[in-house]
């Protein structure tokens, strides 16, 4: 015996199609909040440099530092060779925004390994934050 719930006068039960359409946006939002299997399996040992960065094993700096040099070079319109690396250190940033979210930006809530890079051109010193491979790069 199935239980039947009384309906208000003139109301019809929702069709299965209507219920499915009502649940679809919730399912899409929920699916977008998850991480893919590739993201879960990727560890520091499997990180690759983004396209456009040097992958030369004899390069003097890790790819993230090269990315910071390239970014500063592009911003200032100078040759990368004219930029001096003051220092760089490995850091664990508190989130995917490297601890520097912009207004209304949503950041992943996970510790992100990366680098703090200090570069100079003349007397001016520039500090950048990067992820482990230089794909995410922000100026302090």
Ranges of each domain in the chain: 79-140
Measured CA to CA, the distance from residue 134 to residue 114 in angstroms comes to: 8
pTM of the predicted protein model: 0.58
Angle, CA 90 vertex, CA 64 and CA 36 arms, to 5°: 65
Q: What per-residue confidence (pLDDT) applies to 88?
A: 92
Measured CA to CA, the distance from residue 12 to residue 64 in angstroms comes to: 61
Q: What is the pLDDT of residues 38-49, one digit of tens each?
A: 554 444 444 444
- Check: CB of residue 100 under 8 Å from CB of residue 87: no
In what side-by-side order are the strands of the sheet with 124-131?
A: 84-93, 112-121, 124-131, 137-139
Q: What is the pLDDT of residues 74-108, one digit of tens each?
A: 999 999 999 999 999 999 999 999 999 989 999 99
Q: What is the pLDDT of residues 6-52, one digit of tens each?
A: 556 666 666 667 666 666 666 656 555 555 545 544 444 444 444 54
Q: What's the rounded mean pLDDT across residues 45-66?
A: 62
């Amino acid at each position: 015996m199935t239980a039947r719930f009384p309906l208000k006068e003139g109301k019809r039960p929702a069709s299965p199609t209507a219920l499915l359409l009502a649940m679809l946006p919730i399912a899409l939002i929920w699916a977008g909040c998850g991480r893919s299997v590739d993201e879960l399996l990727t560890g520091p040992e499997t990180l690759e440099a983004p396209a456009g960065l040097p992958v030369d094993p004899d390069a003097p700096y890790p790819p993230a530092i090269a990315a910071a040099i390239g970014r500063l070079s592009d911003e200032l319109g100078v040759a990368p060779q004219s930029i001096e690396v003051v220092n760089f250190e490995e850091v664990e940033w508190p989130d995917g925004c490297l601890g520097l979210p912009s207004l209304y930006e949503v950041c992943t809530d996970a510790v992100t390994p990366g680098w703090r890079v200090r570069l100079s051109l003349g007397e001016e010193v520039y500090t950048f934050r990067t992820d482990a491979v230089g794909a995410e790069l922000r100026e302090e």
